[in-house]
Structure 1
Amino acid sequence: MTDHRASFDAAITFGNGGDLVVHGFRVDLPGPDTAESEIAALFVASLGLLMTDTVRLTDLRIFAEPHKGTRGGPSDRRQALEAPERGALVELGRLPHEGGTHLEAPGGDLAAVPLGGAVDVPAVVVRVTGAGRRTIDVGSLAAFDVRGHAVLLHTGLRAGHRLTPEAAAWSLEHGAALVATDADRLEDDARDVLLGGGAPVVEGLTGLEGLPPTGILFTAAPPRLQGVGRAPVRAYARVPKIVESRTK
């Protein structure tokens, strides 16, 4: 099923005074026939706005585009993590001739990576595939609840997008369990921040375009090798049935 999103300008007034104007805002839609009133509600929910009085949309366009994980939108599946059912498995690891998929451990010791930090970890997919800028900064991550989650960076490229050290530090401060990317490698400065803060790094993923932005479980368990800091892993995601059924 093809995902759809909306782009629009919006003007909001608030019941306790003040207003807000935005241009070119985008939200995920449940379908191509979503009513304008529902799009306005999704916009308000995505920003967590309170005491809104009127919402006026202009220059509204609906188009096919993968969901990005709008808060309160069709791909926001946080409740699915409360009691996930076993569901479909999605291969995320590259074959060796494609460069493989690797995990690097904090402290240079794969044996110290706990199973709970590498198996069935709740995950969010941060898509920057359509972004004009190639810098993945705090603004790319801030809409997601990353505490206890694997942060999967979907760049659509094996090189070219750069995770900033500030974004890496923000991920740690907000409790991310690990950070992974479909690029061959993260920038050294961002990797150093993550590993220094105790978060494993997974590089060389594939197949992220087939995942919903939230509600999935990520696995990339490394071999239990003492004194070895980096090794190939077979990475995959589990899409619980409650999420799978809502994305069909």
Structure 2
Amino acid sequence: MLQYRAEFDATVTFSNGGGLQAQGFRVDVPSADTTEAEISALFLAACRLLLVDTVALSGVRIFADPHLGTPGGPSEPGRRWIELSHVISAGMTTYPGLPGPEITPHLTREASRGVYAPGTEFAIDRITMVGNTGTYLDSPFHRYGDGTDLAGIPLERLVDLPAVVVRTIGGGARGVDVPALEGRSVAGRAVLLHTGGDAHWATPGYAVDAPYLTGAGAQWLIDNGAALVGIDAVNIDDTGPDAAGARPAHTLLLGAGIPIVEHLTGLANLPPAGGRFTAAPPRVAAFGTFPVRAYASVPATEPHGPVPGGRLPASGA
């Protein structure tokens, strides 16, 4: 069976400043039609790079050649999992002004002992909450009465989506606009906006001057075929007083059938490409928004923590 390698030049920029270049780098790839996004992820894994903002490849050449075991390549199968959800607890505030969840017992362990056989006990608990609790997904029904509800969103819009991380953290601008998105391949992908807004989670500052996606940015994502859009901030729209209640990102994205995930966290742990994103809510009919367990998988050899910048060898393995 033929095995393949990719050779390319790469330019990398880091979200905390600086960058590096590589010429004639080679990595093992799974097939002759491996995409540039997949090659980028294998490259980052091979170099143990984190805090990456952008990766640009040029001169990509895929050729038949035996695998040499580059980190993250096909010779090292397996994935690891990255948590992207906030924990839900009784009384917590997700969105200022909305009630926190109430978690109470329906059947206590003590009471259950009179129901089951000796030595057997269970706890059954009750949770009362609004759909906008914790990390949650908006379906089109959230915005439009005739839109698709939670029960109707197809799994291919929610599960194991190739992820593109757009990092604007530290850029100084609140609004994620078209220039931050241009040049990225987003068709069929979950576009995750890493703004750093989650640093203020569970504090009064979380909703103050929070990052958001502009209407023009939302339209660009629609025009370029994004499958899902997520953000690590209080809302995907500007909720400040100057917005006067307008919600262009919700209106455009949900109108185009694109689910939205708000209140993500942990996006700093994802590479700019190569991750797989999942955020699936329960199938609740006639309901627009519900908490999700959002997470991503990355190659098992992807580094677990920040790696200091440094020189990259001129050629890979």
TM-score (norm 2): 0.54
Aligned letter for 1:127? Answer: R
**Which of 41, 45, 54 is the equivalent residue of 1:69?**
54
Aligned letter for 1:89? Answer: W
- 1:148 corresponds to: 188
Residues 71-104 of structure 1: CA deviation (Å, up to 9, x unaligned): 129xxxxxx999x954000000001236310000
CA distance 1:177–1:5, shift in 2 (3 Å): closer
Aligned letter for 1:68? Answer: D
- 2:249 corresponds to: 190
C-alpha contact 2:138 2:288 (8 A) present in aligned 1: yes
Q: Structure 2 CA distance, aligned partners of 1:183 and 1:81?
A: 33
More helix by share: 1
Shift of 1:234: 0.5
SS in 2 for 1:71: strand
Aligned residues: 190
SS in 2 for 1:198: coil
**How does 1:206-217 map onto structure 2 within 5 Å?**
206-217=265-276
Unaligned runs of 5+ in 1: 7-25, 42-63, 74-79
C-alpha contact 2:13 2:54 (8 A) present in aligned 1: no
Shift of 1:66: 2.1
- Larger-Rg structure: 2
Provide runs of 4+ in structure 1 moved above 3 Å: 241-245
Aligned: 1:239 with 2:291:
no
Q: Structure 1 CA distance, aligned partners of 2:163 and 2:272?
A: 8
C-alpha contact 1:92 1:206 (8 A) present in aligned 2: yes
Residues 33-80 of structure 1: CA deviation (Å, up to 9, x unaligned): x6xxx49x9xxxxxxxxxxxxxxxxxxxxxx9821122129xxxxxx9
TM-score (norm 1): 0.68
**Which of 137, 146, 152 is the equivalent residue of 1:103?**
137
Unaligned runs of 5+ in 2: 1-11, 26-48, 59-71, 95-133, 141-146, 199-206, 238-246, 308-317
Q: Structure 2 CA distance, aligned partners of 1:81 and 1:116?
A: 25
Shift of 1:28: 3.9
C-alpha contact 1:108 1:230 (8 A) present in aligned 2: no
SS in 2 for 1:221: coil
Q: Structure 2 CA distance, aligned partners of 1:116 and 1:183?
A: 24
C-alpha contact 1:27 1:70 (8 A) present in aligned 2: no
SS in 1 for 2:197: coil
